[in-house]
Structure formats: structure tokens, C-alpha cells
Amino acid sequence: MILRFQSICVPAAVLSLAFLGSSAPTLIAQTGTAAKPLTAMPYSPSLDTANLDRSIDPCVDFYKFSCGGWQKNNPIPPDQSSWDVYSKLADENNQFLWGVLKEDGAIKDRTPVQQKVGDYFAACMDTDAIDRLGAEPIASAMSRLDAIPSRSSLITHLADLQHLSSGSYFFASLPLQDPDDSNTILVWLGPNGLGLPDRDYYLKTDAKSVETRAKYVAYVSQMLVLAGEAPTLAAAHAADVLKIETVLAQASLSQVDRRDPYKTFHKMTVAQLNKVSGVIDWPSYFKTQGAPGLATLNLAEPEYQKAVDAELQTEPLDALKAYLRFHLVTSAAPILSSAFSTAEFDFYRGYLRGTKEQPPRWKRCVRAVDGQLGEALGQEFVRRTFSPEMKQKTVLMTAQIEEQMQIEIEQLDWMSDSTKKEALRKLHALRNKVGYPDQWRDYSALAITPGDYFGDTVKAERFDRSREWAKVGKPVNRNEWGMTPPTVNAYYDAQMNDINFPAGVLQPPLYDSKMDDAPNYGNTGATIGHELTHGFDDEGRKFDYQGNLKDWWTPDDAKHFDERIGCVRDQYAQYIRVDDIHINSKLTSGEDVADIGGTLLAYMAWKKATSSDKLQPADGFSPDQRFFVGMAQWACGNTRPEEERANAVTDPHSPLFARINGVVSDMPEFSKAFSCKAGQPMVRAKVCKVW
């Protein structure tokens, strides 16, 4: 029931996140030990000398120099798999939203928005009522699955199951922009059949992977028992689930392959789809989803869909039903009683990522409101935290950084004039979204019933699904956002060709209006540059100024680009992520290039913006040093080894230390600022630079 298309293959370039990964089945984690709501946001400076470890030479390990104090003073809380500046701010935002939600629940004359978010939060917090229901909320859906009499009936039932809930049922479909025409909504059909985070979990043969699969089978069995199966039968069905998912994993593209949008774009008619995948009645399926008479679609991974067909035709009916029952239960678990939600947490967050405890209920409920009613709750957040002056300053900084990107493109010695012309065209067409949407989402058609958490969640998900499918055949709304305003993150959307900075990420210590420009440009400025650079990374560069998948590069320019990307990949492949696992730099190179290029652009913009100012040292640092320390301190954090092992497979971001040390070692401006000498670790003999 909780929307989590963890496997569906949407091109990563469509939505390039700034700093947070999204590999876990649950929402991003926030935690802390505070036990009461906040009525005002706390303050932390964007450059904090208490975060430093001055015993470390900045030219040897700049990350440790900048963040060693933070790491020592901020151990990972027990309900976290990692803890860093971003997650700490997200926790503070959520604690503040907790106060807003409690206030909205107590107001006598509430607005419709306050009623919806307040009642939904209150229903989520009523754990006694939720626990009394046990498995009752899914009983009818489970009974319908149990009663399926034949293979053909099961295949027909997939359409209803996918329409009514959002678990992993072999594959999924959703409306997205057409890569050929970004002004048109095209239905995507793609993989969504795995319960583990990635295909590699099923295919690797090392001892840890074997152990993980055994733990997963035990978890599947546990969930089936909670849903009413006898233990012996549940164990046999769990083995069936692993067998089915292993076949699907074998037919799936790797994370690296999915970075290439051409490998996940196979536009075809429904009649052509029938030739690839003939088991399902596709016209009927799409009618059920909300797109009757659908003419064309994109089949993201044809070989995967063929594997789905084979499984639906050859696996025993009982095994197929067990697979669907498990995915129904595990997707619903977070909104069911504590027995279900605890089991789901223990496996996905506990075992896979090393988290020791569940977050307190209020944190889970704040996240739930943000996930289901994000733009309703976002209105409350923006009104209290994001001033017009803050928006104006961010917009100005963005314009300054884009100006530096234009200068960089014009001065490139490896790019031809014809490609430069198209690059500048794309840059000038870029749209910047700052803080919050110009027009808030209308939730008036969504009824929230007090005291019905499960029912409210199902209604909210169906409301959102209906809203998405209603877009098919209509012009693209380029004003929509892919993140809620309180979110501590940012993203670039390749098909919208826009960069998006929610109000949540423009709070101290990430953006600090009380601080001088140097750390603000190093922190928020580098984030802006990062997102801007995504439009020109190894994925983003394949989309033109309108957001269409189109090759606008000359062959020689593309070759020169690949050579420079290769330099970055070679550099980051040397960094060890955890244990003996190196960074998969073919997976992370888009983010690595954005980190390097974004920081350089921010540095140049800061230099120009302050060129007439008489900048003075502060806190023992020169202005240039303050820029780099401010840049580094966004990344201060600690990560559990289990989390790093999971991220090594699924996360396109490098670990935090590499995102700082890798960047500064490629910037001569840094070594000059700190008087580093040739041969020191933060001084690379061969500097990597793309943009």
C-alpha cells in the first residue's frame, strides 16, 4: 500500500537528486532524541568551528579536518542507519512539522488543509486503534487472492491489484514524459517485481549475499505467517517467492545500464507490446489503470517483461498466488499493526542497513503526512520558515552560477562551436524552481476520515494515482514539483530541464542568512551548481534544451567528454567505500561530476559577486578557506557499515568523504588556499575536470 516503486525502471537522468540516496524501501530516515514538538526552527551556522578536527592537516584529509569534530559529537542515533548534516536538518524540519500538525489538530475553526493534515496525522498516531485491527485492513484483499481459481484469473487480477495498491507485482506502469516529446505524457511499463533492493542481491554468490537471501526468505515466511498462513506452508511459499524473484532479477538491467536512457526507451504501440508480451490483455489492463484506448507506450526493459510472461505461464498457480500475497502484505506493513510494521522495519532497515531501533511514532507519522499530503503540509511549512527575502537571495545566487556556467561553456577548448551553441541553448532554457510551487496542489477531492489511518492512506494513494493517470493525453504541466517543500534535498529534472530547491534545503546550516557569503556559496552555491551540472553529465547531456532524448553532440565532442568522464571514474574507483568494496564509479560518475563541476561554478560565482568587497579573515580562516570549509561541512556525517554495503549496490552517490576529498583534490584553487604541496593527498598530479 505504501507507494515505493523501488525497482521500476525510470531513467535516473529524469530526476537527479543532489545529496540523498533513495535505495531503502521506506522513506528517508529522520531521527533525534527530542521528545516534544518544536515551535521554531533551531539555528546552526553554515560554518561551525566546533565541527573541525584541527589535529588533521587539511592537505592530507580535508573531510576529516572539516568534519572530524562533527563526527565525534554526533554519533548515529539508534533509529538511524546514517546521520549527517542533511538528515539532522530533516529531523529538525520534521520536529517543527510535528508542532504544526499538533497545532492543526487542536484548532477549532480549521481550514480544509489544516483538517486534512491534522486528522491524517492524528489517525496515524492512534497506535491502539491500529493495533486492534491487526491484519483486518488487508483481509478482504488477501481473501480475493486466495480465491483466484485459475492462472488466467490471476493474470487478469494483476490489473486490479496494481490499480488498487502499490506493492511490487511483477511490473508496474505509470505516466511520465515522452523522451521523444517532453510536452507529451507517455505511459511507462517497467520492472517492479523484486522484494530486495536490487538484482545483485539475488545474483551474487559471496557469503554475505547468500546470508542476505536466507534472511529474506525468513522474512517472507514471517510476513505470510502474520497474514494467517501456517508456518510450514509459509516456509515453502517463501522459497517460491525467492525463486520467482531470482528469475526476474536475472532478466533485469543493472543499475549502471539503467543510467543510459537509450537502454530503457523502447517506444511501441500496444499491438507491438502484445508481440513482446502476449500473456496479458493490455487494452483491458490500461483501461483499468485509467487510460482506455491507449495507443503508444514505452516498454523500459523488454527482456524483463518476457521473463514476467514466462513466470506467469510456467510457475505453479499456488506459487504465483504466494508471491502476490507476500507483496501485498509487505507493501502494506508500514500502515498495519506493530507486528507487521516491526517485522518490515527489522528486515529492511535493521538487517539490511544496520538501524537499531524504529523511529518514534511521531516521526513516522510526520513522514506519512509529508508523503501523502506534502503540498498541503508544505503550505504550513513555507508560511512559517521561508521568507520572500530568502527566496530572492537564492534566485540571485542561481543566476550568478548559471552565468559562470555560460562562461565555462564558451571557454571550453575541447568542445566545437556547434555543440557549444546547443549547450548554451539548453542552459538558457533552464528553469529554476525555488522554495515551493507557484500553484499548490488541490486536495479538495480527497476526503480524510478521522481515525481511519489505513483507509486514509489507501484513499490518498488512489487519489495520487488517479491524478497521475489523468495526465495521459494532456499537455505536461511544467510547474509541478517532484519534491515537497519541507524536503531537505534538491534535484534536476532532465525532461523538464529545470532545477528544484525546496524550502526545506534552504535552511541553516545549509543556507545561513546570518553568515558571510563564502560558506553560503560553498554550501548552497555548490548545491545549485551541482544540480545545474546534472543537465550536462553523462545522462543529462543526452537530453536537449526541451528535455527530449536527442544527440546534440558531434562525435568528436562526445569522445572528448567521455575521456574526461573516464578521468573522474578512474579517480573515484580508487576510493574504498566500506571493507574492501570500492566505489562503483560507473554508477556514481554523474553525481561525482556534478560535485566537482558544481563546486567550481559556485567558487567562480562567489569570486565575481565579491570582487569589489574587501573580504577579511574570520575564525582563523581566509575568505577562500571559508568557502571550502563551508562547502565541506554540508557533508559531515557518520554511516553504519551495513548502510554503506547497501549503498555500494544501489546508491548513485559516492560516500561523503569522497564527495569532499575527491572534489578539492581536483581544484587547484583549494591547494592554493591551504598552501598544500605537491605529493600531499589532497593534491592530484592529474586533475579531472569536465565542466
Q: What is the pTM of this model?
A: 0.93
The domain total for the chain is 1
Neighbours of 658 (CB within 10 A): 24
Asked if the model's pLDDT at residue 153 lies above 90, the reply is yes
* CA distance readout (Å), 102 to 117, 384, 455: 10, 15, 21
- Residue among 202, 477, 168, 213 nearest 327 (CA): 168
Which residues have C-beta within 8 Å of that of residue 56, sequence separation ≥ 6? Answer: 64, 65, 68
* CA distance readout (Å), 416 to 413, 535, 545, 554, 566: 8, 18, 18, 8, 20
Asked if the model's pLDDT at residue 33 lies above 50, the reply is no
CA 392/CA 386 separation, integer angstroms: 11
H/E segment holding residue 28: none
Predicted confidence band at 35 (pLDDT cuts at 50, 70, 90)? low
Question: If you ran DSSP here, which 8-state letter would residue 496 be given?
Answer: T
Q: State the Cα angle at 366 between 362 and 371, rounded to 5°.
A: 145
**Residue 107: its pLDDT value, please?**
83
Peptide bond into 485 cis (omega under 30): no
Instruction: Give the tens place of pLDDT for each residue, 579-610.
Output: 999 999 999 999 999 999 999 999 999 999 99
| b/e code 348-358 from CB counts within 10 Å (16+ = b) | bbbbbbbbeeb
Neighbours of 445 (CB within 10 A): 8
- Residue among 270, 271, 259 nearest 173 (CA): 270
Maximum C-alpha span of the chain: 80
CATH code of 248's domain? 1.10.1380.10
Mean pLDDT to the nearest integer, 422-444: 96
Sequence length of the chain is: 691
Q: What are phi and psi of 162, to 5 degrees?
A: -70, -30
Q: Helix H segments across 507-584? A: 517-520, 526-534, 555-572
CA 136/CA 133 separation, integer angstroms: 5
- 480 lies in a domain? no
- Residue among 373, 549, 343 nearest 459 (CA): 373
Predicted confidence band at 164 (pLDDT cuts at 50, 70, 90)? confident
Q: Where are the beta strands (DSSP E) in 40-106?
A: 82-84
Instruction: Give the tens place of pLDDT for each residue, 609-623.
Output: 999 999 999 999 999
- 320 lies in a domain? yes
CA 354/CA 336 separation, integer angstroms: 23
- 295 lies in a domain? yes
Asked if the model's pLDDT at residue 10 lies above 70, the reply is no
* Span of 87-101, 142-156, 157-171, 300-314 with lowest mean pLDDT: 157-171
* CA distance readout (Å), 500 to 18, 487, 505, 531: 10, 11, 10, 8
For the chain, the first-to-last Cα distance in angstroms comes to 43
**Residue 32: its pLDDT value, please?**
40
- 185 lies in a domain? yes
Domain of residue 143: give its range. Answer: 136-335
- 154 lies in a domain? yes
User: Could you tell me what percent of the chain has a pLDDT over 70?
Assistant: 95
**Residue 108: its pLDDT value, please?**
83
Q: Residue 437 has which C-alpha cell?
A: 510551487
Q: Is 654 helix (H, G, I), strand (E, B) or coil?
A: coil
**Residue 105: its pLDDT value, please?**
77
**Residue 106: its pLDDT value, please?**
80
Instruction: Give the tens place of pLDDT for each residue, 238-256.
Output: 999 999 999 999 999 999 9
Instruction: Give the tens place of pLDDT for each residue, 484-530.
Output: 999 999 999 999 999 999 999 999 999 999 999 999 999 999 999 99
Instruction: Give the tens place of pLDDT for each residue, 76-131.
Output: 999 999 999 999 999 999 999 999 998 887 888 899 999 999 999 999 999 999 99
Instruction: Give the tens place of pLDDT for each residue, 344-368.
Output: 999 999 999 999 999 999 999 999 9
- 253 lies in a domain? yes
Asked if the model's pLDDT at residue 624 lies above 90, the reply is yes
CA 382/CA 377 separation, integer angstroms: 9
**Is 74:87 a contact under the CB 8 Å cutoff?**
no
- 418 lies in a domain? no
Q: Residue 141 has which C-alpha cell?
A: 484483499
Which residues have C-beta within 8 Å of that of residue 93, sequence separation ≥ 6? Answer: 30, 41, 381, 486, 488, 504, 507
Mean pLDDT to the nearest integer, 189-193: 97
Predicted confidence band at 4 (pLDDT cuts at 50, 70, 90)? very low
- 349 lies in a domain? no
Name the β-bridge partners of 177: 185
**Residue 531: its pLDDT value, please?**
97
Q: State the Cα angle at 30 between 656 and 380, rounded to 5°.
A: 120
Q: What is the mean pLDDT of the chain?
A: 93
**Residue 455: its pLDDT value, please?**
97
**Residue 8: its pLDDT value, please?**
38
